[in-house]
Structure formats: C-alpha cells, structure tokens
Amino acid sequence: MAQRNTSRRRQQNSDNFMDYSLLFIVLFLLGFGLIMVYSTSSYEANLDFGDSTYYLKKQLFATILGLIAMIFVANIPYHFWERFAVLGYVVSVVLILLIIPFGHEANGAKRWLYIGPISLQPAEVAKLCMILFLASMICTMGKQIRGRKGFWMVLLTPAPIALMIWKITDNMSSAIIVMGIAVLMLFVSSPEYKRFILLGLLTIAGAAAVVFAIVQMAANAADTLDFRGERILAWLDPSAYASGKGFQTLQALYAIGSGGVLGKGLGQSMQKLGFLPEAQNDMIFSIICEELGLFGGIAVIIMFILLIWRFMIIANNAPDLFGALLVVGVLGHIAIQVILNIAVVTNTIPNTGISLPFISYGGSSVMFLLIEIGLVLSVAKGIRLKDL
C-alpha cells in the first residue's frame, strides 16, 4: 500500500515542462517589434499609402497567423513531423523553382510567391524544412555521422537548397543561414571538432581571398564589378560610396551615433523620415538605437541572448536526440540571423538584406519563426519534471 501511494504521488508530481520564460521573451519581442514597425514605418506608409498604420496592420495580421500556427504546432508531439522530413525537402525545392515563372519582384529582387492575399517567401519555408530534414537525417545515420563520408553527406545535403536560394531568389543571406544551420546541427552531433576548425579556417581564408580579389579588380577596372563587389568596397570605405552602395550603411551609422546613450525618444527618429532606405526592414535596429539609444539596443541584444539561453536549456534536457536537434536548428537560425543583422547595421560585415527576427517587418519571416518556436515548445512539453 505504501509503495502504491508513493508511486501515485510521484505520478501526480510528474508533469510536462512548459517554458513560460521562452514564451514571455517571444511575446515581448513580438510586441516590441510591432511598436517599432509602426514607429519606423508610419511616415513612409502615410506618404505612400495614405495610411500610417499600413505596415503595422500587415505585420499584425502575419503575427496573429503565426501565433495560431505556433499554438497548433506546440500541441502536436514533435515526432509527428518527422515523417514529413523528406517531403519538406522536396517542397522547398518546388517552391524555390516556382519563383522562376510565378515570383513577385520587389526592390529589385524576385523572392516572393503570392497565394491569394498572402505573400510567401520560399527561403523561409526552406529554413524550417531544412531543420526538420537534417534532424531526421542525423538521427537515422547514427554513428555513421562520425565518419568522413557521413560528415560531408550531412554538410552537403543542404547545399543544393542554399545554391538555389542564392541564384534563383538572389538571396545570399538566406543561403548562408541555411548552411549555418547545417553546420551548427552537425557540430553538436559530431565529436570531430578538428574538421570544424579546418572548415572555419578555410571559410575565413576564402572570404579574405574574395575581398582581396575584389579590391584588386576595383583598382584596375571598377566597372567590371557586380553589385556584391560594390557592396564589399562600400563596406571597406562607406564614405567613398556615400551616394551609392554606402548610402544605407552611412545613414544607419548616423542613426546609431545620433541616438547616444538614452536615445531621442520613441517616435522621434530623423533618419526614418526618408533618409534611411528599408528602415522598417533590415535597418530597424539602427532606428531602435536612434530612438532608444545604446540602452535600447543593448536591451534588445540581451533579450535575444536570454532566448538563446532558453533554447540551450530545452535542448540539453530534450527527451531524445531528434528533439534536441530540432531546438538546436531553431537556435542556429535565430542566432545567425540576429548576428548577421546587427553586424550589417553596424558595418561589421558587408551589407546584405537580412531581417532582425520577430522585430523587422516581414510576414513570411515572423510566421515561420513562430512555427519554429512552436516546435521548440513541443519539445519542451516532452520534458518530464519529477519531484522525487
């Protein structure tokens, strides 16, 4: 009888884990993002559409859809999605190929598909599907991943998707993120760290060689450079390209510098008044720094660090490898995107179009990020808490 009572007590005290800290951080970033989208875009929206809330309403609609999808995914056992891993890879390929005949062009880039009133960016679908596919693939391969063949198989599997995103949708930043997700998921699954050190050194050397080659080409014949070459030159010396590729970077740096420590105040940005292109998209972090100062910028970075920390807690306590890899994939996606966005805004790396997760304007981005959060919450619900 005593043994039965102890067993019943343990079962009552055993419960699913719900990470309210993670949920709070995501909701805070979403709310803050909506405020900043309105603050950043209201002037331009009023000029272009006669409605200062135009971008806010579209972002709010996408956020609500994303939250509904997040709740739906969070309440489905994450292993359910494992059976759709291969299908997800195929769907990613098909959607990217559909860009060629049916893609919608905006700001000189053909990256979107329109499904009724909803615009869909296949690159965002590919990031989610790649996380699911690689998690399933690594679990299936097991110890084979430790060998050289297994290592390169996992690393090269997302390469066709990344190449298609780069060449067809002209979106190098999303291609880098897809490969970055693969590298991080492989890193936590493989004990062969020497390979990653070598891979990192080769990547750095390759990037340095490209920059050196572009500088040499510019010295001889600048007119032969494409727009990416010009972006690299503008990164090295923005003031020399102030009227061209360096204009956006310089305006972003002016915004950050003019904000000081405490900022000009919410809604008081000057750079958003037609000076800074795509202020509500890729450059929203610079407006945050201008209006809320260094304090606001650091606060946002801290929130992302806390978000990544919660991912690490869930991944470390996940019920199985598949769940842990799903969380690591989402962690990699968000962490890489945050680092690249802030690096671009501060001119640490060459300018490339990439949004700040949960904060920048972009319906496809916020919807699929929230679906990924739903996957993480589903993994978290599989963790059992026992009061022994």
Which residues have CB under 8 Å from 374's CB, separation 6+?
69, 70, 71, 72, 73, 74
Segment among 130-139, 243-252, 306-315 with least mean pLDDT: 243-252
> Taking residues 277-292, what's their average pLDDT?
90
State residue 224's pLDDT score.
61
Quote the domain boundaries for residue 119: 76-189
pLDDT tens across 185-228, in order? 999 888 778 888 888 888 889 888 888 887 777 666 555 666 66
Share of the chain above pLDDT 90, in %: 50
Q: Do the domain assignments include residue 181?
A: yes
SS3 of residue 114 by DSSP: strand
pTM of the model: 0.90
Q: Do the domain assignments include residue 156?
A: yes
Q: Using CB atoms within 10 A of its CB, is residue 153 exposed (0-12), middle (13-18) or buried (19+)? A: middle
> Taking residues 60-84, what's their average pLDDT?
94
Which residues have CB under 8 Å from 250's CB, separation 6+?
238, 239, 242
Q: Do the domain assignments include residue 355?
A: no
Instruction: Select the more confidently predicted residue: 133 or 16.
Output: 133
pLDDT tens across 140-189, in order? 988 888 888 888 898 899 999 999 999 898 888 899 999 999 999 999 88
Q: Do the domain assignments include residue 132?
A: yes
Q: Do the domain assignments include residue 161?
A: yes
209-226 CB burial, b ≥16 within 10 A, e <16: eebeebeeebeeeeeeee
Rounded to whole angstroms, the Cα distance separating 85 from 359 reads 29
Q: Do the domain assignments include residue 151?
A: yes
Q: How confident is the model at residue 84 (pLDDT cuts 50, 70, 90)?
A: very high
Task: Report phi then psi at 105, rounded to 5.
Answer: -100, 135
Share of the chain above pLDDT 70, in %: 91
Rounded to whole angstroms, the Cα distance separating 171 from 173 reads 6
Q: Do the domain assignments include residue 296?
A: no
Please give the mean pLDDT across all residues of the chain. 86
> Taking residues 310-334, what's their average pLDDT?
94
Alpha helices in the chain (DSSP H): 2-13, 20-49, 54-74, 85-102, 122-141, 148-156, 159-168, 172-189, 193-221, 227-236, 247-259, 284-316, 321-345, 363-381
State residue 3's pLDDT score.
45
Rounded to whole angstroms, the Cα distance separating 145 from 139 reads 9
Instruction: Select the more confidently predicted residue: 73 or 214.
Output: 73
pLDDT tens across 342-376, in order? 999 998 888 887 899 999 998 889 999 999 999 99
Inter-CA distances, 60 with 31, 57, 63, 277, Å: 10, 5, 5, 22
State residue 225's pLDDT score.
64
Inter-CA distances, 96 with 122, 177, 345, 362, Å: 6, 16, 28, 18
Q: Do the domain assignments include residue 262?
A: no
- The tally of domains found in the chain comes to 1
Rounded to whole angstroms, the Cα distance separating 84 from 29 reads 30
State residue 191's pLDDT score.
76
Q: Does residue 387 carry a pLDDT above 50?
A: no
Q: Hey, CA dihedral for 37, 371, 119, 95, is it positive or negative?
A: positive
Q: Please name which of 276, 284, 257 lies closest in space to residue 342, comparing C-alpha atoms.
A: 284
> Taking residues 236-247, what's their average pLDDT?
79
